[in-house]
C-alpha cells in the first residue's frame, strides 16, 4: 500500500493508505479502522479487495496511526464524519463512474453506521459493518455513564486505558504478536471520544431506518468487545440490511484463522452491489433526456 498525507479543510493532516485494483476496476472501498489501531493492519484484506477489482483507501483516523494529534482523542466525533465526506468527495471526483462502498470495523464500523444515518453521497452504493461499536459487550451502568459525562465535560482530552485482552481481539498467535509489537497501537481513549462514540452508537440504532442503501453487517455473538445485540437492532431497523453472525470468531474476524471464509463472501457481496449500482447508473443516464432533446 502507498501512503500520503492529505490536507483537510480544517488544517489537519490526515495520513491515508491507498492501493489500486489489480486489473479492471469495478469500484472503490473506503475502509475505516477501529480504536487504537491504524490502516496499516489491513494489508491482507486490502489485497483481497484489490484482486477482486477494487481500489481501496484507508485513512488513519484522527488520534491514530501516523495522523498527527493526541493519541486516542478527537476534538469532536463529527470530525470523523467530515473526514469521510472529504474522502468520499475526493474518490468520487477522481473516478466519477466508480461506485463507493464504505467498510468500517469496530469503532470504524460505528463511524460508518453514524455516517450512513446522518450523511449522504450519491456515489456511495453500499456499506459493510464489521463488529461495529453500537453496543458494548460490557454495558456501562447509568451511574458510570453519568460519571464519564461529567469527567468528559471537565477533562475532555484526558485519556484512559483501552486495552482488552489480546485473546478477545484474535485467537491467532501471529496476529497477536504483531499487534503487541506494533508501535503505532496506543491502547488509549479520551473521555470525550469514549462518551461521544457511546452516544453515536445509540443514536445510530435509533435512526437506523435512515440508512436506505444495502448494508452487510458481520458480527460474532461471542465478541467480548462490541456486542452483536447492537448489530441485531440496527439490522432489524435498517430497511436493506443483512446480518451475518459469526459464531466462534473473536472481535477481529479478519485476523482470525479461517478469515478468508468470511472475507471472500463479503468481497463477493460488495462486487455484486457495485455491479448493480453501475447498471442502475447506466439505466438512469439512458432514461434521462438530455438538455438538447428537451430543447428540441
Our CA angle for 161, 162, 166, nearest 5°, is 120
C-alpha cell at 266: 463479503
Residue 187 · residue 96 · CB < 8 Å: no
Give the whole-angstrom CA distance, residue 296 versus residue 294: 5
Domain ranges of the chain: 2-295
Q: What pLDDT, on the 0 to 100 scale, is given for residue 279?
A: 82
The answer to whether the beta carbons of residues 171 and 251 sit under 8 Å apart is no
Q: What pLDDT digit, counting tens, does each position of 19-50 carry?
A: 999 999 999 999 999 999 999 999 999 999 99
What is the reported pLDDT for 281? 76
C-alpha cell at 287: 432514461
Provide the pLDDT for residue 288.
60
CA separation for the pair 95, 98 (Å, rounded): 6
DSSP run (H or E) holding 217: strand 215-219
Look at residues 117, 152, 110 and name the one whose alpha carbon lies nearest to residue 134: 110
Residues of the chain under the 50 pLDDT cut:
none
Q: What is the pTM of this model?
A: 0.95
Task: Single out the residue of 46, 34, 44 nearest to residue 80, CA to CA.
Answer: 34
* Cα 179–chain centre separation: 19
Hey, what CATH topology would domain 2-295 get?
Rossmann fold (3.40.50)
Distance CA 105, CA 31 (A): 8
Distance CA 133, CA 196 (A): 12
Q: Which long-range contacts (CB under 8 A, 24 or more apart) does 275-280 make?
A: 275/26, 276/125, 277/27, 277/99, 277/125, 277/126, 278/26, 278/97, 278/99
To which residue does cell 497477536 refer? 176
Contact 149, 156 (CB under 8 A): no
pLDDT, one tens digit per residue, over 125-156 is 999 999 999 999 999 999 999 999 999 999 99
What is the DSSP pairing of strand 188-190 with strand 124-130? Answer: unpaired
Give me the pLDDT at residue 45, please: 99
Q: In terms of Cα–Cα distance, which of 106, 87, 95 is closest to 26?
A: 95
Torsion of CA 58, 21, 116, 122, to 10 degrees: 130
In this structure, what DSSP letter does residue 24 have? S
Average pLDDT, the chain: 96
Helix, strand or coil for residue 35?
Answer: coil
- Strand, helix or coil for residue 192: helix
Please report the sign of the dihedral spanned by the C-alpha atoms of residue 93, residue 95, residue 98, residue 99: negative
- The whole-number pLDDT of residue 295 equals 53
**C-alpha radius of gyration, the chain, whole number:** 19
How far from 29 is each of 5, 34, 153, 186, CA to CA, in Å? Answer: 18, 16, 36, 26
Write down how long the chain is.
296
Amino acid at each position: 500500500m502507498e501512503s500520503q498525507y492529505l490536507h483537510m479543510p480544517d488544517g489537519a493532516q490526515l495520513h491515508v493508505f491507498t492501493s489500486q485494483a489489480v486489473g479492471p476496476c469495478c469500484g472503490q472501498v473506503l475502509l475505516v479502522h477501529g480504536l487504537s489501531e491504524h490502516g496499516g493492519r489491513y494489508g491482507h484484506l486490502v489485497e483481497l479487495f484489490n484482486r477482486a477489482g477494487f481500489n481501496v483507501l484507508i485513512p488513519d483516523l484522527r488520534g491514530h496511526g501516523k495522523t498527527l494529534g493526541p493519541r486516542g482523542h478527537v476534538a469532536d466525533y463529527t470530525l470523523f464524519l467530515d473526514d469521510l465526506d472529504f474522502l468520499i468527495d475526493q474518490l468520487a471526483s477522481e473516478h466519477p463512474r466508480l461506485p463507493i462502498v464504505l467498510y468500517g470495523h469496530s469503532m470504524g464500523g460505528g463511524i460508518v453506521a453514524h455516517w450512513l444515518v446522518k450523511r449522504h453521497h450519491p456515489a456511495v452504493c453500499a456499506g459493510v459493518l464489521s463488529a461495529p461499536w453500537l453496543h458494548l459487550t460490557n454495558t456501562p451502568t447509568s451511574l458510570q455513564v453519568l460519571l464519564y459525562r461529567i469527567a468528559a465535560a471537565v477533562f475532555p482530552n484526558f485519556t484512559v486505558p483501552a486495552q482488552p485482552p489480546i485473546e478477545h481481539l484474535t485467537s491467532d498467535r501471529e496476529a497477536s504478536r504483531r499487534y503487541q509489537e506494533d508501535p503505532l497501537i496506543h491502547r488509549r481513549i479520551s473521555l470525550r471520544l469514549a462518551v461521544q462514540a457511546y452516544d453515536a452508537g445509540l443514536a445510530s440504532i435509533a435512526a437506523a431506518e435512515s440508512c436506505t442503501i444495502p448494508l452487510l453487517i458481520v458480527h460474532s455473538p461471542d465478541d467480548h468487545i462490541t456486542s452483536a445485540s447492537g448489530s441485531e437492532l440496527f439490522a432489524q431497523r435498517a430497511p436493506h440490511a443483512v446480518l451475518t453472525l459469526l459464531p466462534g470468531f473473536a472481535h477481529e474476524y479478519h485476523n482470525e484463522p479461517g478469515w478468508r471464509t468470511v472475507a471472500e463472501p463479503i468481497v463477493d457481496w460488495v462486487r455484486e452491489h457495485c455491479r448493480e449500482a453501475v447498471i442502475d447508473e447506466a439505466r438512469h443516464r439512458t432514461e434521462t433526456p438530455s438538455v438538447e432533446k428537451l430543447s428540441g
